Every structure is written in structure tokens, then in C-alpha cells.
A and B are shown apart, each in its own frame.
Chain A
Amino acid sequence: KAGVTQTPRYLIKTRGQQVTLSCSPISGHRSVSWYQQTPGQGLQFLFEYFSETQRNKGNFPGRFSGRQFSNSRSEMNVSTLELGDSALYLCASSLNYESNEQYFGPGTRLTVT
């Protein structure tokens, strides 16, 4: 069974631009969570989607948004990029939003210059 896929793997953007990241969960998994990982803050929860609905949201500004499609694929968008948004963005897939176990994708490394 194929794992979680994320595209693109690497991205370089300029301050003020916006970016869209994509995540395809494991086949049959319906819940997708997004995390930001930085050396300073560790792994921080952004939001979780299940059945095309945002179920949970972390403590991030409104510049961070996401959505989920009917095939469970998810996208997250960051508008008006700031230098501090440089991070590894990880998508995690689970069977449903009540599932205990999450499986991470390879991540998208975003660099904002």
C-alpha cells in the first residue's frame, strides 16, 4: 500500500508570496492533519481535516488555511509569506479523525527568502 505523498518536496518563495502544498493520504485513510516543524518550536499542529471538514485547528494565524477534497486529498495554503514560515510542513494520514495512529508523509521543505 502506498504511503502518504506530499508535493512539492522543496519550495523556495519570497516574502509576501503565497504557497499551496498538497498531500495525498494513504489509500482508505480519510483524515489528514498538517504540522509545521522547525528547530525552534518542534512539531506543531496546524489543522486536521476529515470528510472535507476542518475538525481541529491549532494556534496559527489566519494566513494558514487548508481544505480537503472528496477523495481525501488535502491542500494547505499560506498567504503573505513571512521569513518565519520557513519550515518543514508535514502531512499525516489516519484512518479517521478518531484514529490514534498517524502516518507522516515525507514533508515539504519551504524556504522563504
Chain B
Amino acid sequence: QKEVEQNSGPLSVPEGAIASLNCTYSDRGSQSFFWYRQYSGKSPELIMSIYSNGDKEDGRFTAQLNKASQYVSLLIRDSQPSDSATYLCAVRRGGSYIPTFGRGTSLIVHP
């Protein structure tokens, strides 16, 4: 049973649109949630972290967490072609320092 699920995509959105990436997790003890961006051939780059229910905004990125429904999402406003990458969701349960990663969602932003 996969612990962190993401739609593999690709998710294709036009430039300037809002891209919505979703992640669900199975462990109700999860307390820390992260979004990483990984360009093809590169390593993951941490772009957002969220620890409490609600929204967290950072520039064009908004992370949303709903622990009751066990999902976390990432919204990218005004999407740019440079946002085209694979987005990895990572979840860490309380008391553990080992994050579990989803397989990632491929995002394509076309001009």
C-alpha cells in the first residue's frame, strides 16, 4: 500500500493559468508536509513546507493542508513554462525524521 499518492500526470496547463497539484497520504500520524520541484535530470528542490491545517502562501505558490481529509495540495498561480517540472510531495509522521515521498506529478506549462 502506497503511503503517499500523487497523480503521475502529466498535468498540462496554459501559461498564466493556475496549476493545482494534489497529494493524499494514508498515515494519520503525519505532521510535516513538503513540496519539492524536480527538473528533468536535476535533484529535488524544496519549495514549500506546511505543518498546520489551512493555506500557506509563498509568492506564486500556495500549499493547502487538510489533515481530516488527509490531503495536501500545491497551487501555482500565473504558471510559467519554467514551472514545468515534476512536483514531489513528501510527508513525515510525528516522531519520525524519515519523509515518505510520492512518485511525483509531472507538470507541463505550455505557452
Contacts and interface: CB of A to CB of B under 8 A. Distances in A.
Interface string A91-113: 00000011011111111000000
B97 A97 contact: yes
A91 B97 CA distance: 15
B43 interface: yes
Interface string A42-67: 11110010000001101000000000
B43 A90 contact: yes
A43 B44 contact: yes
Contact of B101 (A43, A48, A88): A43
Contacts of B103: 42
Interface string B62-106: 000000000000000000000000001000100011111111100
B60 interface: no
A55 B97 contact: yes
Interface residues of A, number: 21
Interface residues of B, number: 21
A102 B49 CA distance: 10
Contacts of B99: 45, 102
Given A97-B97, A102-B99, A107 B32 contact: no
18 contacts: A42-B101, A42-B104, A43-B44, A43-B88, A44-B101, A48-B97, A48-B98, A56-B96, A56-B97, A58-B98, A100-B34, A100-B49, A102-B46, A102-B99, A104-B36, A104-B44, A104-B45, A106-B43
